[in-house]
Amino acid sequence: MRRREFIYTLNAGVAASLLSKTAIGGVFQGGAGVGRMQEELAYHKIQSVTFDDVRMQYPRFVGKNARLDVHGFGPRLGICTITTDKGAKGWASLRGGRNEAQRLVTELVGKKLSDVFKVNVGITDDRYLPFDIALHDLAGVALNKPVYALLGRDKPFTTKYYSGMIYFDDLEPAHAPGGIDKVLANCRYDYDYGYRQFKLKIGRGHRWMAQKEGLARDIEVTKAVAKAFPDCEILVDGNNGFTINEFTAYLEGIGNTPLFWIEEPFHETVEDYRKLREWMAKANVKSLLAEGEADPDPALLDTLMQQKLMDVHISDIEGLGFTNWRKLMPSLIQYGVQASPHAWGSLLKSFYTAHMAGGLGNTVTIEGVTSTSDDVDLSRYVIKDGNLIPPDAPGFGLELLR
């Protein structure tokens, strides 16, 4: 994905409460403690940068969304490991391709860790974006602190955690579709796993069904999940598969079924989002509007936020970059917009987001990508009361098993 730069309702009181839960305006301002930590990083020189991959396995086959065909059983992810001359070792997903990153290795090796990473900022140069998350992990390991503590919190903020695994499961397998019962069974699995929010993919009529029949199925699935899980919140994601008129028809069709948020129902424009806001106000539909995942235009998103036409910024945690998310957060707070970085595809991204949310707050929920792995110990992260709890281990608290 290209990243160029960078319940069911929340009333004003709840929103204000969430916005207040931030680390000094969204960026750790620090003080004497930051200076001491930065001095400690200066003792470390980067000795090596190596590359590998890890396998993440979904608990079930993941099907289609409005735009894309089946997503399968889970990815193999490129990673990088950075080691210092003092023996500190940090690793994380590699942003972008390995070839681009390998060209930068000679630029990193031999440098002091303090030259490429600042505790109160993140990476010191955008050229290091491929290693952004790994350098956060390495700094945490070198300082014996979890990443959320580098962002300013001794005890992390915790937030809601939604299942992002509910795709068009009713349409699979193609030779014998499972129907709505298959969707409900997958929601039951996720409920038993610990989630209390489900994000439903909608927009079947964009590509996979006739528009009228697809819209009817979207409505039927939404109502069925809400009825079967009355103690859970429903999020919907159109993956830009609707027109404004088709989407308001969907909202009319689900009636009084509450939605926690609406994500990317159509490709964002100021005009269409203003129409949607006006329609929702007249129909008394109260839901957060989430934008910024699919090929985000920073200038357009800024306009939408200025004009109060979006509520949640969802650019990808790796695509935008961990450091850039740290820089973005104060602007979101100023606009009254909350964060929920896109994490689909990799549970590692969910865990990185848990530390960002834990340190900076202002995060309304976290996307869950349920996975197991023979390559990574994922056990330190816990779901409690529908919230994702990051560990207090150094860095991101993730250990490679091989």
CA distance linking residue 32 with residue 22, whole number of Å = 20
pLDDT at 30 over 70: no
Is the same domain home to 200 and 110? no
Please tell me the predicted confidence (pLDDT) of residue 294. Answer: 85
**Domain count of the fold of the chain:** 2
Percent with pLDDT over 70 in the chain: 92
Is the same domain home to 120 and 190? no
Phi/psi at 155 (nearest 5 deg)? -120, 125
Q: Looking at residues 32-54, what average pLDDT do you find?
A: 95
Is the same domain home to 206 and 290? yes
The domain boundary, picked from 97, 124, 144, lies at 144
- Does 3 reside within a domain? no
- Does 73 reside within a domain? yes
32 confidence band (pLDDT: 50, 70, 90): low
Q: Looking at residues 124-130, what average pLDDT do you find?
A: 96
Q: Looking at residues 338-365, what average pLDDT do you find?
A: 98
- Closest C-alpha to 321, from 163, 170, 125, 145: 125
- Does 48 reside within a domain? yes
The domain boundary, picked from 85, 115, 144, lies at 144
126 confidence band (pLDDT: 50, 70, 90): very high
Q: Looking at residues 192-206, what average pLDDT do you find?
A: 98
> Which range, 29-38, 96-105, 140-149, is most confident?
140-149
Is the same domain home to 136 and 249? no
- Does 247 reside within a domain? yes
**Type of residue found at 154:** D
295 confidence band (pLDDT: 50, 70, 90): confident
CA distance linking residue 196 with residue 179, whole number of Å = 22
Is the same domain home to 180 and 78? no
Rg over alpha carbons for the chain, rounded to the nearest Å, is 21
CA distance linking residue 99 with residue 122, whole number of Å = 23
Is the same domain home to 300 and 383? yes
| 3-class secondary-structure state, position 100 | helix
Is the same domain home to 172 and 296? yes
Q: Enumerate residues 6+ apart whose C-beta is below 8 A from 286.
A: 8, 9, 258, 280
- Does 249 reside within a domain? yes
- Does 7 reside within a domain? no
Of residues 236 and 402, which shows the higher confidence score?
236
- Does 162 reside within a domain? yes
Of residues 233 and 402, which shows the higher confidence score?
233
Lowest mean pLDDT among 96-110, 133-147, 349-363: 96-110
Which CATH number does the domain housing residue 56 bear? 3.30.390.10
The per-residue pLDDT of the chain, averaged, comes to 92
pLDDT at 18 over 60: no
Is the same domain home to 204 and 349? yes
- Does 324 reside within a domain? yes
Q: What is the DSSP-derived secondary structure letter of residue 31?
A: -
Is the same domain home to 358 and 390? yes
CA distance linking residue 100 with residue 102, whole number of Å = 6
The domain boundary, picked from 144, 177, 197, lies at 144
Is the same domain home to 126 and 239? no
Please tell me the predicted confidence (pLDDT) of residue 22. Answer: 41
Which CATH number does the domain housing residue 159 bear? 3.20.20.120
Q: For residue 61, how many other CB atoms are within 10 A of its CB?
A: 15
Is the same domain home to 106 and 193? no
Range of the domain at 334: 12-22+153-400
Here the tokens at position 115 are 């030259």
Is the same domain home to 172 and 140? no
Q: What is the pLDDT of residues 218-249, one digit of tens each?
A: 999 999 999 999 999 999 999 999 999 999 99
